[in-house]
Structure formats: C-alpha cells, structure tokens
Amino acid sequence: MSFASSGGRLGRRQFLGGAAAGLVAGTASGAAAQGQGPLQGALQVPAWTREQGEGVASPPYGVPSPFEKAVGRRPRTKPAFPTAASTGTPLQDLHGIITPSGLHYERHHAGVPAIDPEQHRLVIHGLVDRPLVLTMNDIARFPSVSRLWFLECSGNTPQWTGGSAKWTVQETHGLISCSEWTGVRLSTLLDEVGLRPQGRWILAEGADGAAMSRSIPLDVALDDALIAYAQNGEHLRPEQGYPLRLVLPGIEGNMSIKWLRRLKVGDQPFQTREETSKYTDLMPDGTARQFTFVMEAKSVITSPSGGHQLRDKGFYEIRGLAWSGRGRITAVDVSTDGGATWRRAELQAPVLSRCLTRFRLPWTWEGGPALLQSRAVDETGYVQPVRQQLVDVRGVNSQYHFNGIQTWKVEPTGEVSNAA
C-alpha cells in the first residue's frame, strides 16, 4: 500500500510539490464545494474516533490490518507440482531490512512436514568420537547466539536470458529474505561430539518427504553456521523448518537444510541429488560447476520497481536492498540513466555482514523516460556486474547464481517495468 497521497508536514523542502501545497491552500475538491477546504475536512473527527475499537487479544496472535491483505507471498509461475514449489517475498511492500516471518520466501521440495517437537531428534554421527541423539530440549540448553542474516535461493532472479517485462521485484528478486536467527552454533555441537581429524564434509539431512540433503564443507560449517530454532524472536515457522534448521550465512539457501534431523561427518562430499543433478551451474563448454556455495554481491531497487505507476513529476525516494554472501556492503551506486552516470546512495545503519542493507537516494523525476539501476560493492571490493559480464564467463545455461544489475524502465507515462 502506498501512503504517497497522505498530506505530511512539509519541511523547508517541498517533497510533495504542488499537490500537497494545493491541499494546504485549500484547492477545489468535494469538501471545498460544500464551503469547506480539504484542511477543514481532514480535521473533522472520523467515524472510528467516535466509537470504541476492538478489544485486546482479538486475535491472541496479531495479524496485519485487513487493509494490507494484498501483501503476500506468491509463486512466480504456477507450480507443476504443488508441494515442490516456491513463493517470493513481496519486497515492493516491505521496509527496513527484516522480513516478517510470515512473508519469508519459501522453496519446498516435498511440502511442509508437520513435526511434533517432542518427537523430533537431531542425530550427529559419522566421523565423530561421541555420536549424539539430541532432543529439542537438549538443543535449547546449549549456549545460544542470534544473528541477522539474509537467505537467498540460488535460483533467485532467473534472468540469464532476460525476463518478462511484466515481472515485479517480487518475481525477479523475491527469493531473498532476512531474519534474526537464534540457535546453537554448529561448531559448539561439533565440539560436543568430537570431530575426528579425517572429518572434512558434513551431510545435513531434512525430515521432509524429500529428505533434502546437502554436503557442507567443514570451513562453511565452522564459519558461524547456526542450528536455529528461532526466527525473529519466536520459534521457526513450519515453512521455515520448524522445529530446527541449519542456517549457513551467505550461502545458497538450499543448503540451509530445514526440518534438520541428521548431521553425518564424512571425509568427502556425499554427492546427493541436490548437488549433482540440481544446484549445479551448466557452463558453455557443457561441464557443470559443482559446489558453488557463496551468494555474490547483489542489489535491487524495490521502489520504484516493476508494476509501479509514478503519478506525478517531482520528488521520489529511490529505495532498495543490497547484500553480499562475502561480508558487508560498502557502497551502492544508483543510476537513473541506464548506467551512464551514477550517484552514491545512503546506506541505512546497521550495515551488517551477510545481512540485507537498505539504501536510499533522492530523485526528481522530470517526467521523461528513465532506466533505474543499482550496483552494490562489498567489503572484498567486488562490484556487482552487468549481465553481459556474467554471460561472458558463464554463458546463459547457468540457471542459478544470477547477480547481475537489475534495470527498471520508467516510461514518460510513469509506468515502470522490468527491462532485464
């Protein structure tokens, strides 16, 4: 929902231009025709101020305003099989960096299992000195940590060969979300079981109907990885792995195994379906890159973005998100002319490693065509590439790990569409 039409207090700079100035001055409207300016009309006490509101605890677990019912997760395409599907986060409707838990993107391979936490167990075995079977109560007793991290599906932004002009940012970039995760560090549990020196890889297996399984190299497992039971202050949502999931910061989302039931330490990768047939990157010479884990620096403008309609010329705040699987974002540059010139955006604190970073830039739309782009730089010095730079190296068959610069096209009519 846009609040752009609400009259705000104007500072020295008139952000809302003529429309708001006219509002305060009392230009013609229905109210004015009845001998009242809009100011007098807006000062009248509305119906909901004349009566008592809803009582407390209705419902006990609060839900968004009914006026926000258009905000929700949606699939980009109709899934071929309903339990093997994905839905995107509505980035165009969100503010700040935290994704509400109920709007976190989904990617399931056999639906969402209904797991009783009393019966759930985590087994840690393989090349360890003391194999363990842990209950949820056992896991809750270990020292806990909380981390703000993004999760991004490596299939996010399927634009290797371009995308549909009709796609919104939910459809181009919605397979990213950001949460505060709380749980036990994986390294804490590995200390508890006693990792043997030959241990190099860890198989993580989910309790869903797909038994989703991935091989995690030891350096990733020891790099702050979490066995999480909470998200944004409450227990995980069922669709996010309740009651237990792996969370690997900066790593393709598929490896952060949900409904985690087993960790097996081995001396080599386990070559599961999800790292041989799927989640590999097909190169132009016919070979496939395997074990491409890190999500490289990327950014996207969320407002204005595909499907938006600019109504009036004048001030707009360009807003967007940037992130890097390799650390902090250090800069985001924004272009309104398709990359001919760039301006540095303001980064909203906190700017955290492997977390979403919110950026903003003031812009005056003169009413002509514009091509809006953002370009992220991370603390390693890596600069988000244009699509051609990616294609030159990887061809167009990769399917996964597209992090090219996104272009939104603004028409003189104010219509905004995907120009990737």
Residue numbers at the binding site for Co ion (CB under 5 A): 154, 252, 292
What does R_g of the chain's alpha carbons equal in angstroms? 24
Q: Quote the CA–CA distance of 91 and 256 in Å, as a whole number.
A: 21
Q: Quote the CA–CA distance of 6 and 9 in Å, as a whole number.
A: 10
For residue 279, the minimal CB distance to Co ion (Å) is: 5
Residue nearest to Co ion (CB): 292
For residue 414, the minimal CB distance to Co ion (Å) is: 38
Token pair, residue 155, equals: 């299939």
Q: Quote the CA–CA distance of 13 and 232 in Å, as a whole number.
A: 37
For residue 252, the minimal CB distance to Co ion (Å) is: 5
Q: Quote the CA–CA distance of 371 and 391 in Å, as a whole number.
A: 21
- Is the backbone of residue 148 left (phi > 0), alpha (psi -120 to 50) or beta? beta
List Cβ neighbours of 164 (8 Å cut-off, separation of 6 or more): 171, 418
Our CB check for Co ion shows the closer of 292 and 417 to be: 292
Our CB check for Co ion shows the closer of 154 and 177 to be: 154
Our CB check for Co ion shows the closer of 157 and 335 to be: 157
DSSP 196-210: -TT--EEEEEESSTT
For residue 31, the minimal CB distance to Co ion (Å) is: 58
For residue 292, the minimal CB distance to Co ion (Å) is: 3
Our CB check for Co ion shows the closer of 154 and 231 to be: 154
* Residue 374 near residue 299, CB atoms below 8 Å: yes
User: What are 74-81's contacts with CB under 8 Å, separation 24+?
Assistant: 74/170, 74/171, 74/174, 76/158, 76/167, 76/170, 76/171, 76/174
Our CB check for Co ion shows the closer of 40 and 397 to be: 397
Characterize 3-30 residue by residue with b for buried, 16 or more Cβ atoms within 10 angstroms of its Cβ, and e for exposed. Answer: eeeeeeeeeeeeebeeebeebeeeeeee
Our CB check for Co ion shows the closer of 242 and 279 to be: 279
Our CB check for Co ion shows the closer of 27 and 397 to be: 397
For residue 268, the minimal CB distance to Co ion (Å) is: 18
For residue 362, the minimal CB distance to Co ion (Å) is: 37
